[in-house]
A and B are shown apart, each in its own frame.
Chain A
Amino acid sequence: MRRRNRFSIEPKYILIFFVVLCSILLVASFKYKEKFSPVRAVVGDIITPMQKGINSVGAFFTVKTDIFISKQELMKQNKELQSQLDNISYENRILQQEKYELSELRKLYELDEKYASYPKVAARVIDKDPGNWFNVFKIDKGSDDGLEVDMNVLAGDGTGGGLVGIITEVGHNWARVRAIVDDNSNVGAMILKTNENCIVNGNLKLEDEGLLEFSGLEKSDSKVATGNEVVTSYLSDKYHEGILIGYIKEVKTDSTYSTRYGYITPAVNFDQIETVLVITELKEELDPKPVD
């Protein structure tokens, strides 16, 4: 350096030399790109291993800083994920609810198909007393939706579904339904297999067993046996004809030997009614008869 200074070439000439050199290089590399690639490759081959080496030395520090940075990031991420998880589990709950609702509605749909000839309105049970049987319950549709007293209420539960009860009271957006298992309820019914009529009653004593009572079945030779379907009778003045009530469980002859009575397993599981279908057509319209 000092020696060079003694020759004392003016630095500005060297500057000019470098600028010219660089300009030539610029133009040359612009024009003959390919010619330079071996040079680049050689330099790259020399430098790259060094960079790798430095990287592994630097990795130590990098890891340190990375840990610091990533710790903060992870905490932030954790927070975000936590809130995401909250959201998702909330959504999941909603979805599960909806899934449950879907299956309920599917059952209703099946029921609707089954009794396709009647116009129907779907409703939700809103007054619910879990653990006890419904005797009387409330649904969320009323006169606004065309509901009237004495309309029939159906419910489905996968296997088929059938008669639930009858509307006894209507508000403008609610209605009270008396279930057929209610002690006050009696339904004119018919054994489908033999076409014999009987009356189906609710009976408080049978509630715990989940059964209905039937009576007034004429004593005859006909074989009414366990498993026979019981449907509403055309003789009934309030219930539409042919709606499934349940299946005979047991038949007995009463003490006078004139009629038979017995028990029916209802087609609807009264423990789990959540959605129902209301037939928005009164029996009278179909089959006019004096109301008693």
Chain B
Amino acid sequence: MKRFFITAGIVLLCFLMQTTVFQNIAFAGMVPNLILIVVVAYGYMRGKLEGMYVGFVSGLLVDLLYSDLIGMNAILYVLIGYAAGICNEIYYRDEISVPIIFIAISDFVFNFGYYVFQFLLRGRLDILYYVWRTILPEMVYTVLIAVFLYQLLHAVNFYLEQQEDKEEG
């Protein structure tokens, strides 16, 4: 129960941060994708299921507030959460490079998917421009933030696991 509320709180907080504070301190007009970091982190730390739940909830949140089509972000985040969950099998507590690399890849895939749905289907064919203008800068910024945020999420997760272990005795 505790884990549920804390996780929900983290998702909500990251969503709020991304839509408010980080909009104001965007470097070069780019906002880091905090939600994606959380989804990948949960998938990686906790497995496919939790990755998918977190992804679905936060994706739906984004959709309801900012997207015309409901389900667009949700479907992408669910897939990413699931994919990150696959990596849960190689989860190792002190490893940080794997999740960071995975966050980078996911961010690329996510934005590429976003591009395909929202731009390519409208006939915006200049892929390289969008990669260079939006996808890569966001990826770099997201990775930079992820280095800190992942460790924070990891610490929270570690604390919760310890608590749960205690409760189970």
Chain A residues with a Cβ under 8 A of chain B: 1, 4-5, 11-12, 14-15, 18-19, 21-26, 28-30, 33, 36, 39-40, 43-44, 47, 50-51, 54-55, 57-58, 61-62, 65-66
23 example contacts (A-B, Cβ-Cβ < 8 A) are as follows A4-B49, A11-B47, A11-B48, A11-B85, A14-B48, A18-B52, A19-B75, A21-B71, A22-B78, A23-B71, A24-B71, A29-B70, A40-B65, A43-B61, A43-B65, A44-B64, A47-B65, A50-B16, A51-B19, A51-B20, A54-B17, A54-B20, A62-B21
A55–B52 CB distance below 8 A: no
**10 further A-B pairs in the complex, CB-CB below 8 A; given A33-B68, A44-B64:** A12-B48, A18-B52, A22-B56, A22-B74, A26-B70, A29-B70, A43-B64, A44-B65, A47-B65, A55-B20
With a cutoff of 8 Å between Cβ atoms, the chain A residues found around residue B124 in the complex are: none
Contact B24 A1 (CB under 8 A): no
B133 CB contacts on chain A under 8 angstroms: none
Q: Is B149 an interface residue (CB 8 A)?
A: no
Q: In the complex, A28→B20 CA distance in Å?
A: 29
Which partner residue on chain A sits nearest B3 by CB separation? A1
A interface, by DSSP: helix, strand, loop or mixed? Answer: helix
B144 an interface residue at 8 Å Cβ cutoff?
no
Cβ–Cβ < 8 Å partners of A29 in chain B: 68-71
Which residue of A is nearest B64, CB measured?
A43
B82 touches A22 (CB 8 A): no
We find that the number of chain B residues with CB closer than 8 angstroms to chain A is 34
Separation of A57 and B50 alpha carbons in the complex (Å): 29
Q: A11-B52, A15-B48, A44-B65 are in contact. Are A26 and B72 (CB under 8 A)?
A: yes
Interface residue? B140 (CB, 8 A)? no
Q: Contact partner of B16 among A40, A47, A61, CB < 8 A?
A: A47
A117 CB, min distance to chain B CBs, angstroms: 72
Kindly state whether residue B12 has any CB partner on chain A within 8 Å.
yes
Cα distance A51–B47 when bound, in Å? Answer: 30
Alpha-carbon separation in the docked complex, A66 to B24 (Å): 9
B71: A residues at CB distance < 8 A: 21-26, 29
Chain B positions within 8 Å of A19 at CB level: 75, 78-79
By beta carbon, the residue of chain A nearest B75 is A22
CB distance from A37 to the nearest CB of B (A): 10
Q: Are A25 and B65 in contact, with the CB atoms below 8 A?
A: no
The interface centre, meaning the residue of B16, B50, B85 with most chain A CB atoms within 10 A of its CB, is: B16
Instruction: List residues of chain B with CB within 8 A of the CB of A65.
Output: 24-25
CB distance from A62 to the nearest CB of B (A): 4
Chain B residue numbers with a CB within 8 Å of A25 are: 63, 70-71, 74
